[in-house]
A = this chain, B = another copy of it.
């Protein structure tokens, strides 16, 4: 074989993998569209009409580069959470921001602590720089604060990842419990607190943002409650020195101009947000009901999805998943041991949940029979 340009040793050793297979790829493979899109924790309620209007108005302006400082956006986000603009960095969704922080803090062999079965895109970023993932099993379907703390101490890890509320289980910790966790964390360990779903759960789960802590970063996004998954806009909040350090390697033109417009408009429409959170709560109740009607156990959720215990092993839940997909219902499932007994169903529109209600018993029968 001819010589060719070499990849870095870290990248050369990586498998070709993707954190998620998109529903579009599944539709192409199946040769037909899903009837219910309930797998990616998107918001079928969509962005606010005010946000749609703002995007439409901005379309002719897309010839301009975005403001690389995201000045107005940062000011708006800062005001929203009660900090200064210098405590805020914007990014291409939480995905992009997690990648940024990982590239700032993790290099070959750096131990990084997360939960076994937590957000795969974070793990993907860690792998990209050759970090060493240390995983801690969930406990009673929640990420284990004690377990994470033990692992951090044992490994002297500079980074620990935690989502609250959690994905893929939908469970959460109350703010006071998380504050205790933060207090106990070594000061040389950075907590990446992924709050992608925070607007959808109880207020009591919302940890007060305290930028005097130099070792906690809060991550927020417009992908979930705000209904803008496709626009890639998120922000991170933290201590000023760390936020300034982000400038060293940040992709300054990464958040596109349409995302800046949409994020700004979305934040301004808190009335719409309140309507959506109410609808999401109703959707969660409906999914839980459907689960119970089929003698399954819904896990209480603070997110826009409900993870359903199928009351058997991972093999059975995988069959349920496959049967739902066969019936044109796009859902996903946790893959880690113990969690893998579940399927995960996002809140969707009423007619989509009707389809789920209709197809779940059939899928269960087929899974049991196969």
Residues of A within 8 A of B (CB): 2-11, 14-22, 24-25, 28, 37, 40, 42-47, 52, 55-56, 59-69, 71, 92-93, 95-96, 99, 103-107, 110, 124, 127-128, 158-159, 187-190, 214-215, 223, 227-232, 241-242, 244-245, 247-249, 251-254, 256-259, 262
Q: Which residues of B contact A110 (CB under 8 A)?
A: 8
**Are the C-beta atoms of B46 and A63 separated by less than 8 Å?**
yes
Q: What separation, in Å, do the CA atoms of A355 and B263 have in the docked complex? A: 34
Task: Establish whether residues B244 and A16, one from each chain, have CB atoms under 8 Å apart when the complex forms.
Answer: yes
Taking a contact as CB atoms closer than 8 A, the residue among B52, B93, B244, B249 that contacts A60 in the complex is B52
Whole-angstrom distance between the Cβ of A166 and the nearest chain B Cβ: 19
Given A17-B247, A59-B56, A230-B63, A69–B24 Cβ distance below 8 Å? yes
- Residue numbers in B under 8 Å from A28 (CB-CB): 71
| A262-B25 CB under 8 A given contacts A92-B254, A245-B16 | no
* CB-based closest 7 A-B pairs: A230-B257, A5-B190, A128-B249, A24-B67, A55-B59, A62-B230, A63-B227
Q: Nearest Cβ in chain B — how far from A102, in angstroms? A: 10
- A187 touching B24 by the CB < 8 A rule? no
Contacting residues, chain B, for A104 (C-beta < 8 A): 7-8, 11
Work out how many copies of this chain go into the complex: 2
Whether B262 lies near A5 (C-beta < 8 A) is no
A227 to B21 alpha-carbon distance, docked (Å): 32
A62-B40 contact, Cβ under 8 Å, with A106-B8, A230-B258: no
Return the chain B residue nearest A224 by Cβ.
B63
Q: List 23 A-B contacts (CB under 8 A).
A: A4-B187, A20-B68, A21-B68, A24-B71, A42-B65, A45-B63, A46-B63, A47-B60, A55-B56, A55-B59, A55-B62, A62-B230, A62-B262, A65-B223, A65-B230, A66-B232, A92-B92, A96-B251, A127-B249, A128-B248, A230-B257, A231-B256, A256-B256
In the complex, which residues of chain B have a beta carbon less than 8 angstroms from the beta carbon of A6? 105, 158, 188
Known A64-B230, A65-B42, A68-B18; contact A11-B214, beta-carbon cutoff 8 A: no
Complex CA gap A204/B127 in Å reads 43
From B105, B232, B252, contact of A254 by CB (8 A) = B232
Known interface pairs A68-B20, A214-B2; A256-B230 also in contact (CB < 8 Å): yes
A15 and B61 contact, CB distance less than 8 A: no
**Nearest B-chain residue to A185, judged by Cβ:** B5
Please name all residues of chain B whose beta carbon is closer than 8 Å to the beta carbon of A10 when the two chains form the complex: 107
Q: Which of A214, A247, A248 has the most CB of B within 10 A?
A: A248
